Amino acid sequence: MTDTVIRNVRPLGADPSDIVIRDGRIAAIGPDAHIQASPDAETIDGGKRLLFPGLVDAHTHMDKTLMGLGWYRNDVPPSLLAIIENERALRRRMHIDSHQQSTRHARKAIATGTTHIRTHVDIDTEIGLAGFEGVRRTQEDLKDALTIQIVAFPQSGMLVRPGTVELLEQALKDGADVMGGLDPSTIDRDPVRHLDTIFGLATTYDVDIDIHLHEPGELGAFSIDLIAERTKALGYQGRVVISHAIALGSVDDARFGHLVEQLLENDIAIMSHAPGGLRPIPEIKRLRAAGVRMCTGNDGIRDAWGPLNTPDMLERVFIMAYRNNLRKDADIEELIRIASSGGADAMRVPDFGLTVGATADLSLVDGETHVEAVISRPGRHLVMKAGRITARDGESVV
């Protein structure tokens, strides 16, 4: 394979640069790096565009987007249990094909510069493993264009629905990448047994853990305590993500400090997509200032939960900035890092970034600055995964 050189692009915080790509990896990057390319290299003119690293959607639900199925008019009551119930009923009625839907989602994600996704796939006693199997096919079909990590996720509860644990275990045997969990007290009504089961399965199959935690205040804080205890006892430091972690926005300062200590001690990462609503949410800047590892994601996209999210991670960064009231360029640049290397780190993606030796996952975007591009969000000029072009002019070419 001959080298590819992209000339004259602007990486975040660095001088205009060239990138030499060899065997899918960055062989050189920097001003005038093109001289390090082989003589027969194929050259792409970057046209002074912005260079972004691969964008990482570290929390979404590819199996249940309704994209492409006609507009779903949402009239669901705003309670978690009602939403989950409505979603199962809709799934029965519409016969949603998770392979088709996750493929649609994937192509839109690729088109906007996303190179890695962690997706929580519903597993319950109604759908069984059908949703999981569909997303597995998408994972395999598109593996050269998009890295998909699948979380085995008990969306409808685990202990409260006998038979779910066995299905989750089967998914892990069949290749699910990560063990999921959900609100140990408010959904599953037994925090200790919920978490012991999840950690038990994860350690048995040697997979990482990613737990949805919507529980607010002291109840959610207690769940974080329990997660931290198990992370420590089982040597799972660096392998656990708590998604949403709403409690981190609704406890007093002393309790917040104690929770942060536990997160740091056990190297637990927090996923926040900066949810809407009038209740307090985890403060991203404060968590980052304390040294907590963070990632983000688009959560459910145009599904029975609501229509507002899109597959575009630059739109997610915009939402994070707006919701957290972060207006300084330096703060928004940190959000871009959370939406790229922060996610890669949480997903434990090796060789990620815009450095020599890393996989050539990147996109070229028109704009004055990276922050300006987060606000204007133009169609991506070019997207690459491991040195291969996967999207041009805002459209997937895979």
Question: Interface with its own copies by CB under 8 A: which residues?
Answer: 70-71, 73-76, 78, 249, 275-278, 280-281, 283, 302, 305-308, 310, 318-319, 321-330, 332, 368-369, 371-372, 375-376
C-alpha separations of 253 from 3, 229, 266, 285, 286 in Å: 53, 21, 20, 15, 11
CB of 270 to its own copies, least distance (A): 15
Question: Based on CB atoms, which residue is closest to its own copies, 134 or 249?
Answer: 249
CB of 197 to its own copies, least distance (A): 31
Contacts of 392 (CB under 8 A, 6+ apart): 381, 382, 383
Q: How far is the CB of 295 from its own copies (least distance, A)?
A: 20
Q: Smallest distance from the beta carbon of 301 to its own copies, in angstroms?
A: 10
Yes or no: say if 297 and 338 are a contact pair by the CB < 8 Å rule.
no
Q: How far apart are CA 27 and CA 19, in angstroms?
A: 8
Of 108, 54, 82, residue with least CA distance to 302: 108
Q: At closest approach, how far in Å is the CB of 121 from its own copies? A: 22
> Are 66 and 72 contacting, i.e. CB atoms less than 8 angstroms apart?
yes
Token code pair at residue 39 = 């003589």
- Our CB check for its own copies shows the closer of 83 and 165 to be 83
Q: Which is nearer to its own copies, 198 or 301 (CB)?
A: 301
Q: Which two tokens stand for residue 238?
A: 């660096």
* CB 288, CB 334: distance < 8 Å: yes
The CB-of-82 to its own copies minimum distance in angstroms stands at 12
CB of 262 or CB of 369, closer to its own copies? 369
State in angstroms the smallest separation of the CB of 367 from its own copies.
Answer: 9
Residue 283 or 345 having the CB closest to its own copies: 283
CA distances from 57 to 88, 98, 278, 367, 385 (A): 24, 18, 24, 22, 15
Residue 171 or 319 having the CB closest to its own copies: 319
Phi, psi of 339 (to 5 degrees): -80, 5
Query: Of 153 and 305, which has the nearer Cβ to its own copies?
Result: 305
DSSP state, residue 363: E
